[in-house]
Structure 1
Amino acid sequence: MKTFLYRSFIGILFGAFIAVILTNSVVLFSGKDMLDGQLFLKNSLGSIFCGWFFTVTPLFFENTSLRLSQQTALHFVTVVILYFILAFGIGWVPFTVKSFLLVFGMFVVCYSIFWTSFYLYFRGQAKKLNAELQEL
């Protein structure tokens, strides 16, 4: 529970940070003097919620009673469902089949890249630790 609360806090802060960066970028680079307050609130809350679930859902990978394939499947399904509910609800992705398939394809590619990167990193860390243990 302590880990969940800590990660929740970090995710909320990260989501808020991303919202501020994106808002400042829009103001700086689009030349707009005023922002729509309702749109700002909706997108900021979406970014905060997105940050939260992207930092909390990796807890699936800490459940040692599940195989890696099960952990990955649970994480992927949870993240896809939460992200697309959020993206369609807020309007980040238009609610059409074409846009869903396009964004889903990009999502799968990005997910695969991140998953592979983390897998290779942690596999390398495990090899390094095992080598150090052999030296003892």
Structure 2
Amino acid sequence: MKTFVTRSVIGIIFGGFIGLLMTYAAIYFGELTVLNSGLFVQNSLGAIFSGWLFTVTPLFFEIDSLKLSQQTALHFFTVMIAYGVLAYGIGWVPQGTSSALIFFAIALVMYALIWLGFYLYFRNESKKMNDDLQHIQ
């Protein structure tokens, strides 16, 4: 529970920070002089929720009673459904079937690449630790 609360706080802070950076980028690069307050609040809350979601859902990988395939499936479906509904509902993904399919395809590829990167990294780390254990006298 302590880990969940700690990660929740970190995710909320990180999401708020990213939301603020996105606002600054829109103002600076979009040369905006006036912000729509409703849109600002909507996008900020979306960024905060996203930060929370992406820092809490990796806890699935810490459930030792589940196989890696089960952990991955739980994480994948939780992230894809929650973030997909959020992004589509807020307007980060334009309305329409083709936009939703393109979003899903891009998200699937990104998920696979990030998952593969983490998998290879941790496999390499475990190999190093096993090699170090073999050399202990």
Do structure 1's residue 116 and structure 2's residue 116 form an aligned pair? yes
Regions of 4+ moved over 2 Å: none
Do structure 1's residue 78 and structure 2's residue 87 form an aligned pair? no
Do structure 1's residue 10 and structure 2's residue 10 form an aligned pair? yes
Between the aligned partners of 1:104 and 1:18, the Cα distance in structure 2 is: 22
- SS of aligned partner of 1:94: coil
The alignment's TM-score, normalised by the length of structure 2, stands at 0.97
The alpha-carbon deviation at position 36 of structure 1 amounts to 0.6
Do structure 1's residue 64 and structure 2's residue 61 form an aligned pair? no
Count of aligned pairs: 136
Between the aligned partners of 1:93 and 1:31, the Cα distance in structure 2 is: 22
Do structure 1's residue 88 and structure 2's residue 69 form an aligned pair? no
The alignment's TM-score, normalised by the length of structure 1, stands at 0.98
Between the aligned partners of 2:105 and 2:49, the Cα distance in structure 1 is: 22
- SS of aligned partner of 1:51: helix
Q: Percent identity?
A: 55
Contact in 1 for aligned 2:88/2:100 (Cα 8 Å): no
Do structure 1's residue 125 and structure 2's residue 116 form an aligned pair? no
The alpha-carbon deviation at position 93 of structure 1 amounts to 1.1
Gaps of 5+ in 1: none
- SS of aligned partner of 1:33: coil
Cα offsets for 1:68-105 (capped at 9, x unmatched): 01100000000011011111221111231101100000
Gaps of 5+ in 2: none
Corresponding letter in the other structure for 2:107: F
